[in-house]
Amino acid sequence: MSIYVFGHTSPDSDSIVGAISLSYLKNKLGEDCIPTRQGEISNETEFILSKFGGKVPELKTSYAGEKVYLVDFSDLAQAPKDIKQATILGIVDHHKLGDLTTDTPLECWIRPIGCSNTVIKEMYDYHKVEIPKDIAGMMMCAILSDTVIFKSPTCTKVDTKAVKELAAICGVEDYKALAMEMFIAKSAVEGASARNLNTRDYKEFDMNGTRVGVGQLEMVDISVLESRIDELFEDMQRMKDENSLHTIVILLTDIMKEGSRLLTLSDDVSKIETAFKTKLENNQAWLEGVLSRKKQVIPFLQPQF
Ligand code: MG
Ligand code: MG
Ligand code: MG
């Protein structure tokens, strides 16, 4: 019976590439693994796959009775609905430990570093398995994406070293130029609906019994969204109602200015103001230096609930 390997809902490049790179490694180690995904791929992921000739993993949202490896998450709210009926063989991640539990022992590779694909790179090294050129290129891009070209506070020496080694394997000399091309592809907003923008990189969290949604748009220039702020708020209100959220936060992250414009709708805005030590104006604030949801946003929101 095949084992499925997949990342979180609203999959980002780390989730998709991680499914591919971890499946390849596991297959080399004698486990029959198939990479899958829980949702549509992003412009950025499409850019990476086409650059290195990667195949889009098959869409699969139900896993009852299956054996699985999870990549890039351990939160129930980001898992398939029937995950409790699946056997989790292992988790490879770089987020806070979530609320998933298992009935059987499992393999865990969870490290406080910039990207799940950096953890997977360490697994290849540990098992002494050679990384093919195409997979190395995709892993390199996933790390450059998650670490925002090394600017994110989540980035560590392990990540920069992994990128350099992967760049040598895939034969890309100027990996920062390639990363800029990738972020420009990611920043395309023309023709995108407000819902598409709000959910491109969107995660829900159960914060002490309270449901909180946090989306992030990482762009090379967020000013192109200036004329669409009202529309984003209208859709945030719909998302808040549809999913019975206490709070929804959308971060418009400007990777060149190195900060985020926070948009929020909340049943109690004082929680947001306290969390980020700021005063909201029209339900908005500029958070200087904030690039990382997992390190600079979630840890400050969580204690408010
Ligand atoms: Mg991710
Ligand atoms: Mg990641
Ligand atoms: Mg990210």
Q: What is the pLDDT of residues 153-163, one digit of tens each?
A: 999 999 999 99
Ligand of minimum distance to the alpha carbon of 115: 2
Q: What is the pLDDT of residues 69-125, one digit of tens each?
A: 999 999 999 999 999 999 999 999 999 999 999 999 999 999 999 999 999 999 999
C-alpha distances out from residue 100 to 77, 172, 201, 244, Å: 9, 38, 21, 21
pTM of the model: 0.93
Which of 58, 57, 59, 94 shows the shortest CA–CA distance to 74?
A: 94
Which of 4, 25, 181 shows the shortest CA–CA distance to 88?
A: 4
Q: How far is the CA of 277 from the centre of ligand 3 (A)?
A: 23
pLDDT of residue 287: 98
* Helix, coil or strand: residue 54: coil
Q: How far is the CA of 207 from the centre of ligand 3 (A)?
A: 20
pLDDT of residue 232: 98
Ligand of minimum distance to the alpha carbon of 8: 1
Q: How far is the CA of 146 from the centre of ligand 3 (A)?
A: 5
pLDDT of residue 10: 93
CA distance linking residue 14 with residue 34, whole number of Å: 16
Q: How far is the CA of 279 from the centre of ligand 2 (A)?
A: 30
Q: Ramachandran region of residue 168, left (φ > 0), alpha (ψ -120 to 50) or beta?
A: alpha
Q: What is the pLDDT of residues 215-265, one digit of tens each?
A: 999 999 999 999 999 999 999 999 999 999 999 999 999 999 999 999 999
Q: Which amino acid is at 235?
A: D
CA distance linking residue 207 with residue 220, whole number of Å: 31
Q: How far is the CA of 7 from the centre of ligand 2 (A)?
A: 9
Confidence class of residue 185 from pLDDT cuts 50, 70 and 90?
very high
Q: How far is the CA of 133 from the centre of ligand 1 (A)?
A: 23
CB count, 10 Å around CB of 129?
15
pLDDT of residue 122: 98
Note the CATH number of domain 194-304: 3.10.310.20
In the chain, pLDDT over 70 holds for what percent of residues? 100
Which single residue is written with the structure tokens 């980001």? 78
Ligand of minimum distance to the alpha carbon of 116: 2
Ligand of minimum distance to the alpha carbon of 294: 3
Q: How long, in residues, is the chain?
A: 305
Q: What is the pLDDT of residues 125-156, one digit of tens each?
A: 999 999 999 999 999 999 999 999 999 999 99
Q: How far is the CA of 11 from the centre of ligand 2 (A)?
A: 10
The DSSP secondary-structure symbol of 303 reads G
Where, residue-wise, is CATH 3.10.310.20 in the chain? 194-304
With 0-12 / 13-18 / 19 or more C-beta atoms within 10 angstroms meaning exposed / middle / buried, residue 264 is buried
Per-residue tokens: 124: 């290849």
pLDDT of residue 151: 95
Q: How far is the CA of 28 from the centre of ligand 3 (A)?
A: 28
Q: How far is the CA of 30 from the centre of ligand 3 (A)?
A: 31
C-alpha distances out from residue 68 to 63, 90, 215, 276, 294, Å: 8, 7, 26, 37, 24
Q: How far is the CA of 16 from the centre of ligand 1 (A)?
A: 9
Handedness of CA 136, 140, 145, 146 (dihedral sign): positive
Where, residue-wise, is CATH 3.90.1640.10 in the chain? 3-184
Tell me the mean pLDDT in the region 45-68.
Answer: 98
Q: How far is the CA of 92 from the centre of ligand 2 (A)?
A: 10
Contacts (Cβ under 8 Å, ≥6 apart) of 228: 189, 194, 197
The DSSP secondary-structure symbol of 282 reads T
Which of 231, 213, 247, 186 shows the shortest CA–CA distance to 44?
A: 186
pLDDT, averaged across the chain: 97
Handedness of CA 248, 254, 257, 258 (dihedral sign): positive
CA distance linking residue 136 with residue 37, whole number of Å: 20
Note the CATH number of domain 3-184: 3.90.1640.10
Q: What is the pLDDT of residues 191-223, one digit of tens each?
A: 999 999 999 999 999 999 999 999 999 999 999
Q: How far is the CA of 41 from the centre of ligand 2 (A)?
A: 14
Q: How far is the CA of 273 from the centre of ligand 1 (A)?
A: 26
